[in-house]
């Protein structure tokens, strides 16, 4: 079988990041691409299928080090035997490994160890693959940092340090998914008074890994500025992250204003730790509340199927 697929093609069709593919290749020998005359890696269709199956197996609870050398029939048999269930032993082993990674990352953040923090992020991406690294490692890590900050065990400097390095990692992690100009567009921000932006940045990376284009406009963006930017960007959906506080009356007014100004064809997604506290307003403005990454992907799929049709009709 002739190798003709580039690494970017492989990333798009397997759900793995370019970085993960390279590490699985170099460290675990999962595939062996050839080099073209311009020194670029080229992969066969069998390589693509193999990496896709390896990703599915890691999502089912197996570590890449255990299965990297498995043949295609062995991987098919493994996934057939597993079905929808995660093997108890593999699940427990992976849970322990993830907890160890999160604990090590928290220690690195506490000590402001930038190099160790980035190495642990890379290690998690390699071991878990995409999108599991977001769901199982980065989101729980960010939540732990936030909890420790609110409990006074970490300072705002620690929270900013963690956010900076996770953001830096995600910029590279999701890069292969930013090139499809025909993909649907999701624009993200945090509303006025909401300075915690990591949740929005994580959602942007998750959406890119799911085949969307994304634009992040930053934290605490005034409603008028946000809507003005949308006129130029013309996205299929917009997303807002609401973290703290859960009782901001000014934010309620801003959300209502956004519901009035947002184009009908543009779906409004709202999530974050405190989004549930504004549930009455979200219903009023016909927003889609997204409580987790697990809930995000079906919403994105539904919007892709509906294309330019509105996900819901907001009252004007």
Q: Are residues 95 and 76 in the same domain?
A: no
Task: Give which of 143, 147, 194, 26 is closest to 134, Cα–Cα.
Answer: 143
Alpha-helical runs (H) found in the chain: 7-14, 18-28, 45-59, 64-67, 72-82, 88-110, 114-128, 132, 139-150, 156-173, 198-209, 223-233, 249-261, 279-284, 293-306
In the DSSP assignment, the letter for residue 176 is G
Q: How far apart are CA 44 and CA 235, in angstroms?
A: 35
Q: Are residues 92 and 30 in the same domain?
A: no
Whether 38 is in a domain gets the answer yes
Q: How far apart are CA 223 and CA 240, in angstroms?
A: 11
Q: Are residues 298 and 202 in the same domain?
A: yes
Q: Are residues 126 and 193 in the same domain?
A: no
Give the pLDDT confidence score for residue 312 in this predicted structure: 42
Contact yes or no for 223/257 (Cβ under 8 A): yes
Whether 284 is in a domain gets the answer yes
Q: Are residues 186 and 293 in the same domain?
A: yes
Q: For residue 55, what are the domain limits?
A: 7-82
Six token digits for residue 49? 């299928």
Q: What's the domain count of the chain?
A: 3
Q: How far apart are CA 161 and CA 121, in angstroms?
A: 14
Q: Are residues 183 and 299 in the same domain?
A: yes
Which of 109, 140, 173 lies at the terminal end of a domain, its last residue? 173
Q: Are residues 122 and 158 in the same domain?
A: yes
Q: Are residues 136 and 200 in the same domain?
A: no
Contact yes or no for 163/198 (Cβ under 8 A): yes
Give the pLDDT confidence score for residue 313 in this predicted structure: 42
Contact yes or no for 17/125 (Cβ under 8 A): yes
Q: How far apart are CA 56 and CA 268, in angstroms?
A: 31
Give the pLDDT confidence score for residue 174 in this predicted structure: 62
Which of 82, 113, 133 lies at the terminal end of a domain, its last residue? 82
Residue entry with tokens 């994580």: 202
The DSSP code sequence of 40-79 is -EEB-HHHHHHHHHHHHHHHTT--HHHHTT--HHHHHHHH
In tens, the pLDDT along 192-243 reads 999 889 999 999 999 988 889 999 999 999 999 999 999 999 999 999 999 8
Q: Are residues 71 and 147 in the same domain?
A: no
Contact yes or no for 278/193 (Cβ under 8 A): no
The domain that holds 140 is classified in CATH as 1.10.1240.10
Q: Are residues 78 and 105 in the same domain?
A: no
> Is cis: bond before 245, omega within 30 of 0?
yes
Whether 313 is in a domain gets the answer no
Distances (CA, A) of 220 to 196, 223, 251: 9, 9, 10
Whether 316 is in a domain gets the answer no
Instruction: Write out residues in the chain with pLDDT < 50, as ranges.
Output: 84-86, 88, 177-178, 309-313, 315-316
Q: Are residues 146 and 211 in the same domain?
A: no
The domain that holds 301 is classified in CATH as 3.40.50.280
Whether 49 is in a domain gets the answer yes
Q: How far apart are CA 209 and CA 130, in angstroms?
A: 7
Which of 82, 110, 145 lies at the terminal end of a domain, its last residue? 82
How many Cα neighbours within 13 Å face the side chain of 66?
Answer: 15
Whether 247 is in a domain gets the answer yes
Q: Are residues 224 and 275 in the same domain?
A: yes
Residue entry with tokens 């390699």: 126
Burial label for 212, CB within 10 Å (0-12, 13-18, 19+), is buried
Whether 2 is in a domain gets the answer no
Give the pLDDT confidence score for residue 80 in this predicted structure: 79
Strand partners, 42: 34
């Amino acid at each position: 079988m002739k190798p003709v697929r580039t690494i970017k093609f492989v990333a798009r069709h397997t759900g793995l990041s370019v970085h993960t593919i390279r590490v699985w290749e170099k460290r675990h020998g999962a595939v062996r691409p050839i080099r073209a005359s311009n020194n670029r890696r080229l992969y066969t269709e069998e390589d693509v299928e193999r990496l896709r199956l390896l990703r599915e197996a890691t999502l089912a609870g197996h570590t890449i080090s255990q299965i990297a050398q498995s043949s295609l029939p062995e991987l098919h048999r493994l996934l057939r035997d597993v079905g929808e269930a995660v093997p108890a032993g593999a699940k427990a082993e992976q849970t322990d490994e993830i907890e160890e990674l999160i604990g090590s990352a928290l220690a690195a953040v506490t000590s402001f160890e930038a190099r160790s923090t980035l190495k642990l992020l890379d290690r998690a991406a390699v071991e878990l693959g995409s999108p599991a690294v977001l769901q199982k490692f980065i989101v729980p890590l960010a939540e732990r940092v936030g909890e420790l900050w609110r409990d006074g065990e970490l300072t705002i400097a620690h929270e900013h340090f963690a956010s900076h390095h996770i953001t830096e990692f995600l910029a590279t992690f999701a890069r292969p998914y930013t090139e499809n100009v025909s993909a649907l567009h999701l624009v993200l921000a945090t509303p006025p008074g909401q300075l915690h932006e990591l949740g929005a940045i994580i959602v942007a990376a998750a959406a890119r890994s799911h085949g969307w284009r994304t634009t992040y406009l930053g934290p605490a963006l005034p409603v008028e500025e946000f809507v003005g930017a949308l006129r130029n960007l013309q996205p299929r959906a917009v997303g807002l992250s609401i973290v703290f506080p859960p009782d901001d009356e000014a934010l309620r007014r801003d959300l209502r204003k956004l519901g009035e100004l947002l184009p009908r064809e543009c779906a409004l997604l709202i999530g974050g730790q405190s989004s549930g506290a504004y549930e009455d307003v979200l219903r009023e403005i016909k927003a889609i509340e997204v409580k987790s990454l697990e809930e995000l992907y079906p919403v994105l799929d539904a919007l892709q199927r509906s294309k330019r049709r509105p996900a819901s009709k907001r009252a004007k």
